[in-house]
Amino acid sequence: MTGGGSYDEVDLEDMDWNESLKEFTYSCPCGDIFRITLEELKDGEEIARCPSCSLVLTVIYDPDELPSITNVEAATSGTTEEIA
């Protein structure tokens, strides 16, 4: 484990934007997904949690470069895609 108890560290651009959940997601080894919202990121949160197990993921990002929710939704056109 890295990041003081975190399962792993991942760059925000490597996560997927899930339009239906309105969250950034990343596959968890348990079969579910780590989740974190744009609002949580803007509030300084950096831990994505899996709702099915105890694992957490540290999200690496630059707060000054966070997209707005409108830009994320426009970029994905209503689908689950990777944000680059």
Confirm whether 2 is domain-assigned.
Answer: no
pTM of the complete model: 0.74
- Residue spans of alpha helices (H) in the chain: 38-42, 69-76
C-alpha to C-alpha distance for 57 and 78, rounded to whole angstroms: 25
Confirm whether 84 is domain-assigned.
Answer: no
CATH number of the domain that residue 16 is part of: 3.10.660.10
Q: Domain range spanning residue 13? A: 9-60
Q: Specify the DSSP class assigned to residue 68.
A: P
The domain total for the chain is: 1
Q: For position 34, what pLDDT does the model report?
A: 97
Confirm whether 83 is domain-assigned.
Answer: no
C-alpha to C-alpha distance for 31 and 25, rounded to whole angstroms: 12
Confirm whether 67 is domain-assigned.
Answer: no
> In tens digits, what is the pLDDT along the chain, a chain of 84 residues?
444 578 999 999 999 999 898 899 999 999 999 999 999 999 999 999 999 999 999 999 988 888 765 566 555 555 444 444
Confirm whether 21 is domain-assigned.
Answer: yes
